[in-house]
Chain A
């Protein structure tokens, strides 16, 4: 079955970077895109961007352009999301999700990122 397992919780200082990983299994990794979505405490879902593991093509939401980089390692079926220049309002649970009908379908368990000085 499709499974996405994310890396553990992170605590970062303002201005630092965080890199979250997402290891996929149960399907052919290069056949489906990976979305990254975040959810601040008590808030809704926010789409951050998408990457094609097949081509490496990416598309980032305007709010994150210049601050986020999404990559994949096809040898380990792992996707990565790197967010730089962290601010307090970047504190959130970050999710990866595999395409289902283009949109996020199968979700990882989430990674809590805390930003605190």
Chain B
């Protein structure tokens, strides 16, 4: 299965919002309600910030918002803070017990 497509980079000033897209097909993003988003700081393990398209794990600020339309999922980070600067990856179910990651987006806080 092919990787989901994300923009390589995105940026915003502190306090602004940034939205990252994750485009797949009807065989993955468009066909399931299992989409997760991960934040990864350099040298660290990924951390889930959104699961099942819209759900935030406990401890994740409500500045992180997930949504989906057709074959594309979105992660919006509002009220950007310096600590939000990281790589972000999406992931989706792509069949029975089969999963695929996105290509990754580097978010820069200007």
Interface residues of chain A, those whose CB is within 8 Å of chain B, are 33, 35, 37, 44-47, 50, 57, 59, 61-62, 95, 97, 100-110
Contacting pair B104 A45 (CB below 8 A): yes
The residue that A47 contacts in the complex, of B34, B47, B55, B100, with Cβ under 8 A, is B100
Docked pose: A23 CA to B28 CA in angstroms: 30
A-B contact count (CB 8 A): 71
Residues A50 and B36 in contact in the complex (CB < 8 Å), given A101-B52, A104-B91: no
Residues A107 and B97 in contact in the complex (CB < 8 Å), given A45-B89, A62-B1, A101-B34: no
B: interface residue count bin: 20 to 34
Contacting pair A102 B96 (CB below 8 A): no
Interface of B is mostly: strand
Q: Is B46 an interface residue (CB 8 A)?
A: yes
Contacting pair B36 A110 (CB below 8 A): no
Contacting pair B57 A100 (CB below 8 A): yes
Contacting pair B99 A35 (CB below 8 A): yes
Q: Is B21 an interface residue (CB 8 A)?
A: no
Contacting pair A103 B36 (CB below 8 A): yes
Contacting pair A47 B99 (CB below 8 A): yes
